[in-house]
Amino acid sequence: MRSTSGGVAVVMFGCVCLTLQVAIYAYHKPAQAMPLLLLVAASSSARMVGLHRARHGLAASNLVVLSGIAWASTVGLICALCMLTGEIVLTTVAALTMTGFAFTSAYNNAGIPRLARTQVLIVGVPFLLASLFTGIAEMPVILALGPIWILGIMHLVKATHKSVAATITTQKRNAFLAMNDDLTGLANRVSILGAIENMARDATADGLPERPYVLYLDLDDFKPINDRFGHQMGDFVLRTVAGRLRDAVGASGQIGRVGGDEFVIALSPATACEAAEVAARLSEAARLPVDLGGGHSVQIGATIGGASVGSAGVDAALARADARLYEGKRQGGGVNRFD
């Protein structure tokens, strides 16, 4: 788990501000200044280490949370002590620090909403309680307004968390769609062609005698399903068959959807015999009946063309596999042809 915190730079800025605040406080309470400065240094360092490790995937969630609570406790303590002095400069600075920290936590740590809420309470509650003991007659008004302020911050945490979660979900979805087919979940054209290129490059680098093999598969008799049952049911059939084809390929290679009912299978360095075995499994999987419900079922098939990726490259191999595919189509479909 990673905090959505702005990171080390935010804590460094907070450390500088809090150090200056302690320096002002030292004018009134010099004996307490050094312990507070050491506390600021220790808690801010722990927080920066936690955030740095989290950014690089090295920190466990408890380190991020504990360092965040320690840092908030330090800020809350210093702001409360400044309030208790009753000095106008220190109370004003404490109010600014507390407010800035609360809003920063609400926004930057919204990815961990419980931590953000806890930090707000740790900083805000001591500040509000200390306002009762400042000796300033009007100061208790702050305590009266405090619950409203805290509720507002909590709402901000909730709203920001929703926004962050929605953004992350959208980013993951877009990343998935960039490499995968939306309907079937298989690799899309870009992804499967890239896989073939990588297989060919690796085979060349390793000096393997076998080359990657590509299979071009086209479903037979799929269009009548759309015409008879509608595109929604056609999509269901396509998803079902795509899942079966993926299982048929298994660990032998990768499969991607490159068109309406067209698929490309990339086989890691394989012989024509091994490719034929995979093609046979694919043909058998494609022929399995698909239950549409309501007493209806459909059965389709597949025609497959195959070619080895030679020195002419991936595009040439795909063109040859496509040519073998249409040779099979001209024979009535349901056959597998290879170079």
Domain end, chosen from 178, 197, 214, is at 178
Q: Is 221 a catalytic residue?
A: no
- List the domain range (segments joined by +) for residue 326: 189-338
Angstrom distance (rounded) from CA 151 to CA 168: 26
- Give the pLDDT of residue 57: 62
Q: Quick one: 71 and 203 in the same domain?
A: no
Is 66 a domain residue? yes
Q: Pick from 178, 205, 222: which residue ends a domain?
A: 178
Whether 330 and 215 share a structural domain: yes
User: Are both 162 and 23 inside the same structural domain?
Assistant: yes
Last residue of a domain, which of 178, 203, 235?
Answer: 178
Instruction: With respect to residue 1, please indicate whether it lies within any of the assigned structural domains.
Output: no
Instruction: Determine, yes or no, domain membership for 2.
Output: no
Domain-embedded: residue 266: yes
260 with 223, same domain: the answer is: yes
Count other C-beta atoms under 10 Å from residue 171's C-beta: 10
According to the model, what pLDDT value does residue 4 have?
41
Based on the domain organization, do 165 and 195 belong to the same domain? no
Are 117 and 199 within one domain?
Answer: no
* Residue 170 within a domain: yes
Are residue 70 and residue 129 in the same domain, yes or no? Answer: yes
The answer to whether position 3 is within a domain reads no
Are 121 and 24 within one domain? yes
Residues 198 and 277 occupy one common structural domain:
yes
Q: Which of 181, 218, 220, 261 is catalytic?
A: 261
Rounded to 5°, angle at Cα 27 from 22 and 29: 75
Q: Domain check: are 113 and 224 in the same one?
A: no
In a domain, 150, yes or no: yes
Residues 159, 235: one domain? Answer: no
The 3-class SS string of the chain reads: CCCCCCCHHHHHHHHHHHHHHHHHHHHHCHHHHHHHHHHHHHHHHHHHHHHHHHHCCCCCHHHHHHHHHHHHHHHHHHHHHHHHHCCHHHHHHHHHHHHHHHHHHHHHCCCCHHHHHHHHHHHHHHHHHHHHHCCCCCCHHHHHHHHHHHHHHHHHHHHHHHHHHHHHHHHHHHHHHHHECCCCCCECHHHHHHHHHHHHHHHHHHCCCCEEEEEEEEEECCHHHHHHHCHHHHHHHHHHHHHHHHHHHHHHEEEEECCCCEEEEEEEEECHHHHHHHHHHHHHHHHCCEEEECCEEECCEEEEEEEECCCCCHHHHHHHHHHHHHHHHHCCCCCEEEC
57 occurs within a structural domain: yes
Burial (CB < 10 A; 0-12, 13-18, 19+), residue 296, is exposed
What's the total number of domains in the chain?
A: 2
Are residues 58 and 167 both part of a single domain?
yes
What's 232's domain CATH number?
3.30.70.270
> pLDDT in tens for each of the 339 residues of the chain?
444 445 778 888 888 888 888 888 888 888 888 999 999 999 988 888 888 777 766 556 778 889 899 999 999 999 999 999 989 999 999 999 999 999 988 888 888 899 999 999 999 999 999 998 888 888 888 888 888 999 999 999 999 999 988 988 999 999 888 899 999 999 999 999 999 999 888 877 766 667 889 999 999 999 999 889 999 999 999 999 999 999 999 998 999 999 889 999 999 877 888 899 999 999 999 999 999 988 889 999 999 999 998 878 889 999 999 999 999 999 988 889 987
